[in-house]
A and B are shown apart, each in its own frame.
Chain A
Amino acid sequence: MDLIGYVLLFPIIGTIINGLFGKKLNTSLVGIIACTAIGLSFLVSILVFIDLLKLPPESRLFEKEYFLWIGSGSFKSIAGLQVDPLSTVMILVVSGVGFLIHVYSIGYMHGDDGFYRYFTYLNLFTFAMLLLVLANNFLLMFIGWEGVGLCSYLLIGYWFEKKSASDAGMKAFVVNRIGDFGFLLAIMLIFVTFNTIDFTEVFLAAPEHLEVGSIVATMIALLLFLGAVGKSAQIPLYTWLPDAMEGPTPVSALIHAATMVTAGVYMVVRCNVLYMLSPFSMTVVAVIGGATALFAATIGLAQNDIKRVLAYSTVSQIGYMFLACGVGAFVTGIFHLVTHAFFKALLFLGSGSVIHALGGEQDMRKMGGLKPHLPTTYKTFLIGTLAISGIPPFAGFFSKDEILLEAFTRGSLLFWGLGGFAAFITAFYMFRLLFMTFHGKSNMDKHVEEHVHESPMSIVFPLIVLAFLSVVGGFLGFPAASAINDFLAPVIGGGGHLAMADGGEAHHVSGRLMYSMMGLSTGIALVGIFLAYVMYIRNPDLPAKIVDKFKLVYKIIYNKYYVDEIYDATVVNPTVKSSFFLWRVIDVRVIDGFVNGVGRLVELKSEVLRLFQTGYVRNYALSMLFGGVIIIICSLILL
């Protein structure tokens, strides 16, 4: 486990080599360096995982401290890494999926001018993400947190000459910063409350320091959650994620689907002790999660850009994870995070393969009938779609079903309803996507159609691996013998006895309820799929008719409920306008006007005062005398 530092070391070495010399190296070497770095990091992660398994479950916590980063008075942030079941799961996912996406990128980004720049950012991203999940204190986690945000910004705006791309990058950064505002305040509040920001110490002290439901606990939890909402694109800060699709598709897969955007979920689970101290904030988490799951899914219904559909589905799926956390099923949240990383990465990479084959086309209305052209991509994509729709035995089924079950048993019918309805919509729009892209008749442009081809091996190979994982991944959490549940159990409810009544994961549901819920959620998904089949295969004219009938509803959904426009009108524009007012009126006219006014006044006064400058010594002597008398009188009065 002493090796843990190497998990971070390899990616940063890759970043430095490619960043400094990448321009001079040839492209295949750049790709090899980048992939090797992440591959080695993945291998070390496996070694660490094996080491961890050797320990008895209750002592699976290992911390390695390197140096004092910031120390001022009693405030200390030590640069140290923490290995425990939660961080180990995360590094395996990040470096594993990251490695596949690096390999994929070699094929996908082939021939791009900024090849080395791309891989430098991608390695840096992996480094920052690993740091985020391995950090042993809040502030160090914040470096990773901002680091992934930076890489996201750089990679969204990777094709910086495109205005939409550079706009989207900036939007992502700014919206994330709104979340960071909460995160930063939370760190400060944690420090003031516990006099430490070390995870282990805070989580140990929290149940003793704070009562369940105390204001401080709620404030900390909610401020942290604001950070999570920004990073994980939840209501109301989700608007940056769909725009983030301006970045290269592998980036969307890695950063904006599999890893970075789930950092908020990781953070909430990491801080589960704090959340359990505040039932109110748990409810907030569940409500926001559930609402986002449904809201984003509805937007996904009417989008025509293949990547945007996937983006809204990501927002929606992360909503599920928060729903799980909010009802206290933290492990289930992480379980869904893992399976989602597999199938969503698969879907994005699959869509990338389609886009690659079509020479950059992303509009699904100009696709169709691709199945024979892209056989492997189709098969893997189908697996991903089945997984996200929640069809057994694919990975998404187990995790999503478990969330719905937990929402029902620990939460309420409302949460179950939100999740269930969203599941139905998800199955529908995902199969809509599949049908519009691969089935039916071809709507491709002529010159595009001539060049359609299956993607090269470096693209197809990651698809196959991820498809495999999307099939078997669910068995990690197979209800009867949940490996992931047992593995993660020690991390949850570190406070133990003071946790909420039903806070611990040792929480059993009767088999009958479980199986009937499974059947129900499968049924919901099948209905959704069937509806998509009716509308897009059997009766392709139907969608247009429905749109005609519900014009207004369609328009609102198609325009994403006009949320961006509302934000522009209520926040962005007023801020810019009032800033202009502050500058042009307050600064230039009022403050500077006053200063210049004083200046002018002095000029006028000196016209008068000049009269005293006669140049005669006798006049000056007289004034001196007067002055002296006045001073003496004044001092006599004052002293």
Chain B
Amino acid sequence: MNFPILTIATFLPLMGAIWLLFINKGKEEKIRRIALVTAIGSFIISLPLFFNFNLNTHEFQFVEKVPWIKEFGISYYVGIDGISLFLFLLTSFLTLISILASWTIKDRIKEYMISMLVLETGMLGVFISLDLFLFFVFWEVMLIPMYLLIGVWGGPRRVYAAIKFFIYTMAGSVLMLVAIISLYFMNYKATGEYTFDLVKIYELDIPMGAQFWLFLAFFFAFAIKVPMFPFHTWLPDAHVEAPTAASVILAGVLLKMGTYGFVRFSLPLFPYASHQFVPIIAWLAIVGIIYGALVAMVQEDLKKLVAYSSVSHLGFVMLGIFVFNIQGMEGGILMMVNHGLSTGALFLLVGMLYERRHTRMIADFGGLTKVMPIFAVFFMIITLSSVGLPGMNGFVGEFLVLVGTFKSNILYATLATTGVILAVCYMLWMFKRVMFNKLTNPENQKLKDLNKREWAILLPIAILVFWIGIYPKPLISRMDASVNHLLTQVDEKYKLTLNRLEKDKIKYAMKDELPELAQYQED
């Protein structure tokens, strides 16, 4: 067996968290350093995943499989493909950045860092699990530290926000658990084997009626996470109350769990139901794109604005996933990464303002470019990346999604493209009110520009923004094999079901009209 990169990268943060348990909580500097070093370690270890990734296979790579609870067919089965690779890298990158951004946390720093590191293990685990049970465990594991981060280190209404987040997500998870268990038993019925092995369950031929219900159960779990309109109202509350780093993780990674779930589970497991649900999902996505943008436009709180913009962006991702072609899917996945980078960076930038001024109200700012010119440059870059300016990362994903959508439905594409106009409206209007005009508020007079740590946080993101925008090939080419395979897999299974449906129809029709012939055929 090869070097277990995935396991080490995933569990290193947990080790770090355990290490922190034994550190005296007075040693704040040491606690920070340990957390940072663990996060860096995890990130560096995960880098070979990118460089050694085999472009020519859709099979899962860097696979590790060890039986866990044999009696129930549960195993520790992990691996990545072109779909999860970038989400995995994004997670370890953003956690690292978030820990760096949490340097100014004073309150219970030890517990805070422990939560962050446990959260990282949970998130990384979600993206690599190929065993449904393992997946669910990780899915639940990450929920608790996030709940704590919002509920303990959050703003004034943190308890309401944390509970709302928790209950919303839980409601979805419960349904998903039911669906997972049903799949487990169905698989047993079909093959006689008790297993949670996702790759085996992919082979399962699920009857249409069951597909419908199971899809729906997964749908709620994922749609809440995404969040799709109208399941999104937990998001603005959670973001507003959450500390900066939690917002970064929430927007950057946690939302992607929903869209990733659709790609990894809903589509390949329930292709027929997925196709049937396209109109509903596409319309919800389009409403999300436009509604999210419009509501974002009139927000008075910077964090809420960014939160609603996420609803809009994730609408694009959903649309891309559910048009069933390569441009849409690759665009969707790329957009998950891009959204993680630019929205994550937006929350970081807002956090930097908040640390200085202890307010996030747009009206309290204005003319900041004068006193914070370097901050202004980064803010501008990220703003433009978020509105999808060509040459920057956001455009590539967004355009591919739109092309993919256009191929399958011109009306959807046209409506979604209006989001391109609206994005400029809400982002640039906000930018204008915060950064431009005359600096009138005396409290803004003496704001300090970025310090070295903040430079170190923003610079890597800015580099990635341009890299993905100008030369996205290393990313897209790594997705090709997996996405192609996924789409053919879905397509074949969908056609199979359709064929059967057709045959059934013919059979019924024959039975009705020509009983003798039907009898003859059956013989």
- Which B residues touch A40, using CB under 8 A? none
Residues of A within 8 A of B298 (CB): 576, 579-580, 583
Q: Contact string, B317-342, partner A, CB cutoff 8 A, digits 1/0?
A: 00000000111001100000000000
Mask for B404-432, Cβ within 8 A of A = 1, else 0?
00110000011001101100110011001
**Is residue A483 contacting chain B, with contact meaning CB distance below 8 A?**
no
Q: Are B471 and A67 in contact (CB under 8 A)?
A: yes
In the assembled complex, the Cα of A576 lies from the Cα of B295 at a distance in Å of 9
Cα of A184 to Cα of B424 in the assembled complex, Å: 15
- Judge whether B370 is part of the interface by a CB distance below 8 angstroms: yes
Q: Which residue, A73, A143, A178, has most C-beta atoms of chain B within 10 A?
A: A73
- Decide: A184 and B233 in contact? CB cutoff 8 A: no
| Interface 9-residue window, one of B129-137, B195-203, B395-403, B447-455 | B395-403
B233 near A157: Cβ-Cβ < 8 Å:
no
Binds B, one of A99-107, A160-168, A350-358, A609-617: A160-168
Binds A, one of B62-70, B96-104, B273-281, B435-443: B435-443
Mask, B98-138, CB within 8 Å of A = 1, is 00000000000000000000000000000000000000000
The reply to whether the CB of B391 lies closer than 8 angstroms to some CB of chain A is yes
Given contacts A174-B428, A582-B294, whether A160 and B435 have CB atoms under 8 Å apart is yes
Determine whether B297 belongs to the interface, using a CB cutoff of 8 Å to chain A: yes
Tell me the minimal C-beta distance from A232 to chain B in angstroms.
18
Contact present for B399 and A139 (CB under 8 Å): yes
* Alpha-carbon gap, A153 to B436, bound state (A): 13
Contact string against B for A residues 146-172, beta-carbon threshold 8 Å, 1 for contact and 0 otherwise: 110010010001001111001101100
Within the assembled complex, what's the spacing in Å between the Cα atoms of A72 and B402? 13
Give A558 Cβ to nearest chain B Cβ, in Å. Answer: 28
A162 to B439, CA, bound (A): 10
Q: Which of A163, A177, A192 contacts B407 (CB 8 A)?
A: A192
Contact: A161 with B436, CB < 8 Å? Answer: yes
Question: Could you tell me the distance between the alpha carbons of A142 and B417 in the complex, rounded to whole angstroms?
Answer: 15
Please tell me if the beta carbons of B418 and A181 are within 8 angstroms of each other in the complex: yes
Q: Which of A38-95 contact B (CB under 8 A)?
A: 67-73, 75
B325: which A residues are within 8 A, CB to CB?
73
**Distance (whole angstroms) from the CB of B479 to the closest CB of chain A:** 8
- The reply to whether A163 and B438 contact each other, CB–CB distance below 8 Å, is yes
Check if A464 is an interface residue, CB within 8 A of chain B: no
Asked if B159 is an interface residue, CB under 8 A from chain A, the answer is no
Task: Check if B432 sits within 8 Å of A166, measured CB to CB.
Answer: yes
The reply on B473 being an interface residue by CB < 8 A is yes
Summed over the interface, the residue pairs from A and B with CB atoms below 8 Å come to a total of: 127
Q: Known interface pairs A177-B421, A578-B294, A583-B298. Does A70 touch B476 (Cβ–Cβ under 8 Å)?
A: yes
With A75-B400, A188-B406 known to touch, is A582 a contact of B295 (CB < 8 Å)? Answer: yes
**B295–A587 touching, CB < 8 Å:** yes
Check if A592 sits within 8 Å of B295, measured CB to CB. Answer: no
Interfacial chain B residues near A67, Cβ < 8 Å: 471, 473
Q: Which residue of B lies closest to A149 (CB)?
A: B389
Task: Report whether B437 and A160 are in contact in the complex, using a CB–CB cutoff of 8 Å.
Answer: yes
Verify if B369 is at the interface (C-beta below 8 Å from A): yes
A185 within 8 A of B: yes
Contact at A579–B295, with CB atoms within 8 Å? yes
Taking the nearest CB of chain A, how far is it from the CB of B124, in angstroms? 27
Task: Name which of B167, B299, B403, B435 has the most chain A CB atoms within 10 A of its CB.
Answer: B403
Closest A residue to B299 using CB positions: A583
Given known A142-B390, A150-B389, contact A72–B476 (CB-CB < 8 A): yes
Asked if B147 is at the interface of the complex by the 8 Å CB criterion, the answer is: no
Indicate if the CB atoms of A160 and B369 lie closer than 8 Å.
yes
Closest to A117 in B: B373
Q: Out of A169, A170, A184, A191, which one reaches B420, CB within 8 Å? A: A184
Taking the nearest CB of chain A, how far is it from the CB of B293, in angstroms? 9
Please give the distance in Å from B312's CB to the nearest CB on chain A: 12
Contacting residues, chain B, for A582 (C-beta < 8 A): 291, 294-295
Contacts of B470 in A (CB 8 A): 69
Write the nearest CB–CB distance from B432 to chain A, whole angstroms.
Answer: 5
Return the chain B residue nearest A167 by Cβ. B432
Chain B residues in 8 Å Cβ range of A576: 297-298
Q: Which residues of B contact A69 (CB under 8 A)?
A: 470-473
A623 adjacent to chain B (CB < 8 Å): no
User: In terms of DSSP, what is the predominant structure of the interface of chain B?
Assistant: helix
Chain A residues 129-148 with CB under 8 Å of chain B are 139, 142-143, 145-147
> How does the 8 Å CB contact mask read for B458-490 relative to A, with 1 for contact and 0 for none?
000000000000111100110000000000000
A167 proximity list for chain B (CB < 8 A)? 432
A173 close to chain B: CB less than 8 A: yes
Q: Are A72 and B331 in contact (CB under 8 A)?
A: yes
B271 close to A (CB within 8 Å) = no
A575 at the interface (CB under 8 A from B): yes
B413, A188: Cβ atoms closer than 8 Å: yes
Shortest Cβ gap from B413 to chain A (Å):
6
Is B230 an interface residue, CB under 8 A from the partner? yes
Chain A's nearest CB lies how many Å from the CB of B360?
Answer: 16
**B367 CB-CB contact with A under 8 Å:** yes
The answer to whether A174 touches B403, judged by C-beta atoms less than 8 angstroms apart, is: no
Which of A69, A70, A75 counts the most B-chain CB atoms under 10 A from its CB? Answer: A70
What separation, in Å, do the CA atoms of A576 and B425 have in the docked complex? Answer: 10
Flag if B294 contacts A579 (CB, 8 Å).
Answer: yes
Do A178 and B436 touch across chains, with their CB atoms under 8 A apart? no
On whether A191 and B403 interact (CB within 8 A), knowing A68-B473, A75-B327, A161-B367, the answer reads yes
Are A575 and B294 also in contact (CB < 8 A) when A166-B436, A181-B418, A185-B417 are?
yes
- A143 to B388: give the CA distance in the assembly, Å: 11
Known contacts A170-B428, A181-B420, A184-B399: A72-B330 contact under CB 8 Å:
yes
Chain B residues positioned under 8 Å from A153 (CB to CB): 428
A157:B436 contact, CB within 8 angstroms: yes
Contacts of B417 in A (CB 8 A): 181, 184-185
Chain B nearest Cβ from A377, distance in angstroms: 32
Residue of B nearest to A575 (CB): B294
Q: Could you tell me the distance in whole angstroms from the C-beta of A579 to the nearest C-beta in chain B?
A: 4
Which of chain A's residues have a CB closer than 8 A to the CB of B230? Answer: 591
How far, in whole Å, are A75 and B403 apart by their CA atoms in the complex? Answer: 9
Task: Among A146, A147, A173, point to the contact of B428 (Cβ < 8 A).
Answer: A173
Q: Are A161 and B437 in contact (CB under 8 A)?
A: yes
Cβ of A72 to closest chain B Cβ, rounded Å: 5
Complex contact B472–A70 (CB within 8 A): yes
A570-593 near B? 1/0 per residue, CB < 8 Å? 000001101110110001000110
Which B residues are in CB contact (< 8 Å) with A150?
Answer: 384, 389
By a CB distance below 8 angstroms, the chain B residues around A599 are: 167
A141 to B403, CA, bound (A): 17
Taken together as a complex, chains A and B put the C-alpha atoms of A162 and B295 apart, in Å, by 28
B233 touches A592 (CB 8 A): yes
Q: A146-B389, A192-B407, A587-B233 are in contact. Are A161 and B370 (CB under 8 A)?
A: yes
Q: With A71-B473, A192-B407, A580-B298 as known contacts, state yes or no: A174 contacts B326, CB within 8 Å.
A: no
What separation, in Å, do the CA atoms of A191 and B369 have in the docked complex?
41
Expressed in whole angstroms, the minimum distance between the Cβ of A184 and any Cβ of chain B is 6
Q: Evaluate contact between B390 and A161: CB separation under 8 angstroms.
A: no
Most buried by A among B367, B436, B471: B436
Interface: A189 (CB within 8 A): yes
- The reply to whether B390 and A146 contact each other, CB–CB distance below 8 Å, is yes
Which residues of A in the span 458-491 have a Cβ within 8 Å of any Cβ on B?
none
Bound Cα distance from A166 to B437, whole angstroms: 7
Please tell me which one of the listed residues B164, B233, B414, B473 contacts residue A591 in the complex, with CB atoms under 8 A apart: B233
What 9 A-B pairs are tightest by C-beta distance, nearest first?
A73-B326, A166-B436, A188-B406, A579-B294, A160-B436, A143-B390, A592-B233, A579-B298, A583-B295
With A166-B436, A181-B417, A576-B298 known, 6 other A-B pairs at CB within 8 A are A70-B472, A75-B327, A147-B391, A185-B417, A188-B402, A188-B413
Contact sample, A vs B, 25 pairs, CB 8 Å cutoff: A72-B327, A73-B327, A73-B330, A75-B327, A143-B391, A146-B391, A153-B428, A162-B438, A166-B432, A167-B432, A169-B432, A170-B428, A177-B424, A180-B420, A181-B418, A184-B417, A185-B406, A185-B414, A188-B406, A191-B403, A192-B407, A582-B291, A582-B295, A591-B230, A591-B233
